[in-house]
Amino acid sequence: MSQYGKAEYWEERYTRDPEPFDWYQRFTGIKDLVQGCFTPESKLLNVGAGNSRLSEEMFDEGYQNITNIDISHVVTKAMQEKYKDKGPNFKYLHMDARAMEFEDGSFDGAIDKGTLDAILCGESSSSNAQKVIQEVHRVLGPKGVYFAISYGLPEHRLQYLEKPEYDWNVIVKQVHKPTISTSIAITNEDKDAPNVHYIYICTKGQQKGAKQ
């Protein structure tokens, strides 16, 4: 599934199939964890939003300050049209997560539902994954939270998230996969993973090793 790491694949996919599609989890599956990390006043970034309904469902729950970015022109334009009546703080922008066009400390939180996983399928995967994480860290405020939803086992993801240069504490939570799950193991590394998704909650300004 190396095509998941290519921008051209997503352009073609969203052109061919514009219907909403959610990887891994809907909001209901992660709601309690989201509410433990963010408030409705939080300024949030959805990294690699695609045409998922996650931000829409969060908006309906009161999280109405969400900036959604995606590398696909096609899906960004479609989502801008679909949600044009949601107000000025709910927006979709075409942007490469490896080089975000935001000031340092712009957000209280960043949500990633499968984007890091997709990048790790592509060429130069480790380098590109590190660029995304560096950018997420940069655009988060002093107490910002990176909330990453992944099929990847901790032994395959913490090596990217727990680097010394990141002043955040990482805790790992698990949520059960939905009965009908879109979380195919997109690389062989996790083909024997248990029937859960992993939530990596990276909190800046929190002592490393602290439990939450």
Q: What is the pLDDT of residues 12-21, one digit of tens each?
A: 766 666 666 6
User: Quick one: pLDDT band at residue 183, thresholds 50, 70, 90?
Assistant: very low
Provide φ and ψ at 113, rounded to 5°: -110, 85
Q: Which tens digits make up the pLDDT trace of 68-117? A: 999 999 999 999 999 999 999 999 999 999 999 999 999 999 999 999 99
pLDDT band at 212 (very low <50, low <70, confident <90, very high): low
pTM of the model: 0.88
Task: Please give the helix or strand (H or E) that residue 145 lies within, else none.
Answer: strand 140-150
Q: What are phi and psi of 156, to 5 degrees?
A: -105, -15
Instruction: Look at residue 185 and tell me whether its pLDDT is greater than 50.
Output: no
For residue 2, what are the contacts with CB-CB under 8 A and spacing of at least 6? 121, 122, 123
What is the distance in angstroms between the CA of the first residue and the CA of the last residue of the chain? Answer: 34
